[in-house]
Amino acid sequence: MRKNLIQLFFISFIFGSQIVAPSDCFSQYAKTTIEKLASPKFDGRGYYKQGDLKAAKFIRREFKKSGLSPVNGTMFQPFSFPVNTFPGAMNVTIGNKKLVAGKDYIVSPACPTVKGTFPLLKLTWPLIDFKQNDYSTSFILVDKAGLDSVAAAAFDSVLRNPPMVKGMVVVEAKKLTWSVSQKVNDQVFIRVLQDSFPSNATNIKLDIENKFISNYATQNVMALLPGTTNSDSFLVFTAHYDHLGRMGKDALFAGANDNASGTAMILDLAKYYSKPENRPAKSLLFIAFAGEEAGLVGSKFYTENPPLPLKTIRFLINLDLMGNGEEGLMVVNGEVFEDEFKILEKLMPISNCFKRLEKRKSPKQ
């Protein structure tokens, strides 16, 4: 978004936990909404069985219940983009151990379909010359545990510029984080948690099915609450409602914190401000964006195809990762918009909901 045009706050709770433990400051409605959106019924609000569409319909229904209006006759703003999905088989066995999808391992979001049993060769230091032999049907095991910095850097360079191999298995010490890809790679990348990796395994058995959709149709959901005065500018509340979906049928990425929490919050704000006693003078616009996890696709589409002129946006607050406010609230662009930040500071003792506010200049910091 153009920063000089739209004043933006990105707000999230600091160190928001992955597993949502909603703050007591959340309304019962917000808590229930988070639970609903993160339930298996919504399939992780991604690209498995159109979980995102189920969420979009739910959000639209809630906006309507609060009596909000469509924008130019509709609450849906459709768009499409390419996405790699995993609706079918997702089986990984290393040595004799069948691994649990999403818990023991993740496949690269750009993973292609692969089926078969392949030799698993451990990358050693000094590196072998991959050009000496044909490794095109082999998997390389990359485990950086215990390496010195020179060897670790060499292993990293192999990961960055993979040799001609069928795929790589990377052993990770810490937690696995998945994402969404708009393309499919030729090689198979699998990340396995250290604790789940069977040592001395020499082969890997795979049955993974991807489905690449070049034109996946999705939609932003938007709704208006006209102000009590005839205001021609808007305060805007946004949150992305999409998450990662499923990796195969069993591995659900529920995304309670990221970002059922922010979505629930804008629905709660819509519900609150729509009550006659709370109606603000200024008009409010609520937008639940799709496609964020695939690279901010929904918000980019909105700004390139705005149903209402962008210059009518007086201020925009984006809510993300509201899961746990124990450590306080992080306000991205808080340094840029000093006056607005001061208003938030004044609210702190009144709300009694968060201990401290942290300013960030931009999301890149």
Residue whose CB is less far from Zn ion, 140 or 244: 244
The CA-atom distances, in angstroms, between 56 and each of 37, 75, 180, 286, 324 are: 10, 10, 18, 13, 24
Phi then psi for residue 283, to 5 deg, are -75, 145
- Which residues lie near Zn ion (CB under 5 A)? 258-259, 320
Residue whose CB is less far from Zn ion, 210 or 259: 259
Residue whose CB is less far from Zn ion, 248 or 255: 255
Task: Report strand pairing: 76-85 vs 90-94.
Answer: unpaired
Whole-number minimum distance, CB 20 to Zn ion, in Å? Answer: 13
How far is the C-alpha of 360 from the C-alpha of 349, rounded, in Å?
21
Whole-number minimum distance, CB 212 to Zn ion, in Å? Answer: 24
Phi then psi for residue 29, to 5 deg, are -60, -45
**Buried b or exposed e, range 103-138, using 16+ CB within 10 angstroms:** ebbbbbbbbbbbeeebebbebeeeeeebeeeebeeb
Whole-number minimum distance, CB 179 to Zn ion, in Å? Answer: 11
Whole-number minimum distance, CB 12 to Zn ion, in Å? Answer: 8
Whole-number minimum distance, CB 172 to Zn ion, in Å? Answer: 22
Whole-number minimum distance, CB 326 to Zn ion, in Å? Answer: 19
Q: For the chain, how long is the longest CA-to-CA vector?
A: 77
Please state the separation of Cα 329 from the chain's center in Å.
19
Whole-number minimum distance, CB 240 to Zn ion, in Å? Answer: 6
> Residue 152 is encoded by which pair of tokens?
């670790």
Residue whose CB is less far from Zn ion, 7 or 259: 259
49: alpha, beta or left, given left = phi > 0 and alpha = psi -120 to 50? left
How far is the C-alpha of 182 from the C-alpha of 200, rounded, in Å?
35
Whole-number minimum distance, CB 262 to Zn ion, in Å? Answer: 7
Residue whose CB is less far from Zn ion, 36 or 205: 36
Strand partners, 238: 287, 318
How far is the C-alpha of 43 from the C-alpha of 364, rounded, in Å?
30
Residue whose CB is less far from Zn ion, 240 or 246: 240
To which residue do tokens 């992780």 refer?
Answer: 44
285: alpha, beta or left, given left = phi > 0 and alpha = psi -120 to 50? beta
Residue whose CB is less far from Zn ion, 154 or 296: 296
Residue whose CB is less far from Zn ion, 90 or 288: 288
Whole-number minimum distance, CB 91 to Zn ion, in Å? Answer: 29
Residue whose CB is less far from Zn ion, 62 or 293: 293
Q: Are the C-beta atoms of 14 and 358 separated by less than 8 Å?
A: yes
Task: Give the SS3 label for residue 304.
Answer: helix
Residue whose CB is less far from Zn ion, 48 or 289: 289
Whole-number minimum distance, CB 227 to Zn ion, in Å? Answer: 29
How far is the C-alpha of 294 from the C-alpha of 304, rounded, in Å?
17
